[in-house]
């Protein structure tokens, strides 16, 4: 196989972590479910599940390739890592852990197409009980999953959008009335996020349709293309002007979190204040230094 770019050898602790993860996942897969006969007990066969030899067959690699990988002796390509992760049926957290162990970086795309497309139902109860902030949750494609009453009050008539990214980028009322100074303060924030979302899920049909709609729009399209490879300006802690349907002009400070079991989904809290900018009014929180 063509190995990936040269990286420093894995430290002993990382090699052990990699081996533990892969062995546990192999042991959890019955060979029959992957098209192999059951493994027989005996020397070299004390571990349940798929064998290293069977992994080579599944990966269509020469004998011994997977053994080298599991023992931290291989610089894997992105294709090889993806095939291993799918053969071992890793979840998104395990996929990220595998990539960081072997490539020293976060994966450039998600492993599963439906990653981040749902959250546990209890989040609806959590959001509904938030008081003092506009709170809502979207999936990885910005579909609105849950929101509280204060978020609904932001919109005329309390009509919340089905997809917050489509609303922020394409709805004329959002661009001209609600999201104050849209072209200079909102578009540079949200358009790179859309581009990044598509890059993380290149085969996601809904995101591709949304991107096509934005590209075809005479207002948002040119700005989207100009954004190019602009670094992603994450909204956490950002302050932007807004016109609230009930309270009028003001600013929102945005706080963002991600449900651990739903990577790509977003928990959004918007703190509204009337009047002037809130810049420098909210210090960064950090633990006290210890000697």
Residue 236 has what pLDDT?
A: 79
Distance CA 201, CA 110 (A): 6
The residues pairing with 273 across neighbouring beta strands, listed in sequence order, are 251
Contact 202, 108 (CB under 8 A): no
Nearest to 281 by CA among 243, 240, 239: 239
Contact 210, 149 (CB under 8 A): no
Q: Which residues of the chain have pLDDT under 50?
A: 1-2, 280, 291
Contact 192, 221 (CB under 8 A): no
Residue 2 has what pLDDT?
A: 47
Measure CA 69 to chain center: 26
Model-level pTM? 0.69
Residue 276 has what pLDDT?
A: 66
């Amino acid at each position: 196989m063509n190995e990936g770019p040269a990286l420093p050898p894995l430290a002993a602790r990382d090699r052990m972590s990699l081996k533990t993860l892969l062995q546990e996942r192999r042991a959890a897969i019955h060979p029959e479910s992957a098209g192999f006969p059951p493994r027989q007990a005996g020397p070299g066969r004390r571990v349940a599940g798929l064998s290293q030899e069977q992994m080579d067959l599944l990966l269509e690699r020469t004998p011994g390739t997977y053994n080298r990988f599991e023992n931290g002796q291989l610089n894997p390509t992105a294709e090889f890592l993806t095939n291993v992760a799918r053969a071992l049926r890793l979840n998104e957290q395990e996929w990220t852990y595998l990539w960081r162990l072997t490539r020293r970086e976060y994966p450039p795309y998600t492993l599963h197409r439906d990653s981040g497309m749902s959250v546990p139902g209890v989040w609806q109860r959590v959001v509904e009980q938030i008081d003092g902030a506009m709170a809502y949750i979207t999936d990885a494609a910005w579909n609105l999953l849950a929101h509280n009453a204060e978020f609904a009050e932001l919109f005329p008539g309390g009509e919340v959008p089905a997809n917050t990214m489509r609303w922020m980028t394409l709805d004329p009322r959002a661009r001209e009335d609600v999201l104050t100074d849209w072209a200079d303060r909102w578009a540079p924030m949200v358009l790179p996020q859309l581009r990044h979302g598509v890059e993380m899920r290149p085969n996601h049909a809904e995101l591709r349709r949304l991107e096509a709609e934005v590209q075809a729009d005479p207002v948002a399209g040119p700005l989207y293309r100009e954004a190019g490879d602009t670094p992603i300006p994450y909204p956490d802690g950002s302050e932007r002007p807004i016109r609230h349907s009930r309270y009028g002009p003001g600013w929102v400070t945005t706080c963002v979190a991600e449900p651990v079991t739903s990577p790509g989904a977003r928990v959004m809290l918007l703190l509204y204040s009337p009047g002037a900018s809130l810049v420098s009014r909210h210090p960064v929180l950090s633990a006290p230094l210890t000697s």
